Amino acid sequence: MAGSAGWTDAATAGYPATGGAQGRGSGQSTARALAFTRMPGFQTPSEFLENPSQSSRLTAPFRKHVRPKKQHEIRRLGELVKKLSDVTACTQIVDVGSGQGHLSRFMSLGLGLKVKSIEGDQRLVGRAQHLDRELLQTLEKEDRRNPQGVQASCRRSPHHVVRWVDPTALCEELLLPLEDAPRGGARLLLTGLHACGDLSVALLRHFSRPEVAALALVGCCYMKLSDPGGYPLSQWVAALPGCQLSYRLREGACHALEEYVERLWDQAPSLRTHCYRAALETAIRVAQPELRRPGVQGIPRAHEVKIEQYVRRGLQRVGLDPQLPLDVAALGAQQAQENRVVAFFSLALLLAPLVETLILLDRLLYIQEQGFHAELLPIFSPELSPRNLVLVATKQPLGQAFSVLETEDG
C-alpha cells in the first residue's frame, strides 16, 4: 500500500536499475525513495497475454468500443469500487466526469451496482446512453441463448445526468439519491476515473458531506488545477516552505515514465519530437510573444517529417499563419541539439513521480485532517495507465480491508 507510511524503497519503485555515474545513480535512488510506489500487487496484467487488445477478464460485450487501457482501468477500478461499496454498506455509486460511461456501464450492468453517472458534456452523455442500449440488446441476446443466467430485465443501466460540477460550489445533483433510495437516505460512494484537474478537488470537497460514506478517486491533468484553490488543499503541505508547484512541474507529473524509459532504451525515433516541439515553441514566441502554453493538437508520426514541416503544421494548429517566414538555418541548429533536448526532458521526468507524490500526499492529508481515513493504492499497471494511484477514503476505519481492495480477483 502507499498510504501515509507507504514510502517505497528503490528496489520496488518500478524504475530500471540504470545508473552509470555515481551522482546520477544517487539522484535516481533519491527520487525513487521519496515517491509513492507505483507498482501494484500484481505483475504485468495476465489479462492481455492471449490477445494484447482484449482483456481476458472482461466478457466480450464489455470490451466492445473500449481500448485495452480503458478495459484494464474500468475492470480494476470497478472491482475496487464494488469491494469498497460492500465493506462500507453504500447503496449508490456516483461516477463523476463519466465521459462515455464505460466505467458506469461496467459497474451497473457488469457488477450489479446502482450507479448515477454525471458528465458535463451533453454529446458524451448521448453517446453513453447509446452504448447502454447497445449493451443491453447484446445481453438480452445472450439471455435467450442462456436462460439460466442473469436476465436483462433484472439489470439496471446507469442513470445519466448532464451537469457541470463547479469545484468551488456544492453540487446538489451529485448528492441526490436515485428515486428508490432506501429509507433513511442513500449512502453514497463517489468515484472518478482520471477526474481532470479541479474535478478531483470537487470530489474531495464533497466527500465531507454526511451523505457520502466513501471515495475512490484517480486524478489526472495536474497542470489544470486552479492556482490557488486546487493545490495545496491540506494545512500541512500549505505550511511547507516552497510548496508551490509551477505549471511546468505539474504538467511534467502527468507524463508516462515507464513508457518513456522503454523509448530511451530503444532509442526510439519518436524522441525527436521533443526537439521539434521546442523549435515550434521558439517560433510561436517570435510570432506572438504573448501566446504561452498553447495546446498543440498532436501531429501524427511527427518524427517522420522534416523540422520545418512540423513547425508550420504546429503554427497552424495554434491559429497562426503557417506561411510565416522561418529561419531555416536556425531550425537546423536547433535540430542538431536533439540529444541535449532529450537529456533535459529525461532529467525533468525523473522529478515527475516526486511532484505527483506531493500532490497526492496533499490530498490524502486533506482528508485525514478532517478526521477521516484515507490510503493511496496503486491499482493499475503503470505501463498501461501511468496515473495509477487511487485515493480511497472512508468515514470509518477499515483496517486490513484496505489491503484487500487492491488485490486481483481470482
Give residue-wise pLDDT tens across range 364-399.
999 999 999 999 999 998 888 889 999 999 999 988
pLDDT digits (tens, 9 = 90+) for 154-173: 788 999 999 999 988 999 99
**273: helix, strand or coil:** helix
pLDDT digits (tens, 9 = 90+) for 202-260: 999 999 999 999 999 999 999 999 988 899 999 999 999 999 999 889 988 988 778 88
Sign of CA dihedral 273, 276, 278, 281: negative
CA proximity to 376, closest of 86, 83, 40: 40
Share of the chain above pLDDT 90, in %: 58
Grid cell, residue 171, equals 453540487
* Cis status, amide bond into 294, omega within 30 of 0: no
Q: Which residue has the higher pLDDT, 152 or 147?
A: 147
One-character DSSP codes across 60-125: HHHHTT--HHHHHHHHHHHHHHHHHHHHHT--EEEEES-TT-HHHHIIIIIT---EEEEES-HHHH
Contact residues for 243 (Cβ-Cβ < 8 A; gap 6+)? 232, 237, 358
CA–CA dist 233, 225 (Å, integer): 11
Q: Which residue has the higher pLDDT, 310 or 183?
A: 310
CB atoms within 10 A of CB 297: 9
- C-beta separation of 18 from 392 below 8 A: no
CB atoms within 10 A of CB 98: 28
Q: Which residue type occupies 289?
A: P
C-alpha dihedral, 175 to 176 to 180 to 185, nearest 10°: 60
pLDDT band at 39 (very low <50, low <70, confident <90, very high): confident
pLDDT at residue 201, as a whole number: 97
- Is the backbone of residue 327 left (phi > 0), alpha (psi -120 to 50) or beta? beta
pLDDT band at 294 (very low <50, low <70, confident <90, very high): confident
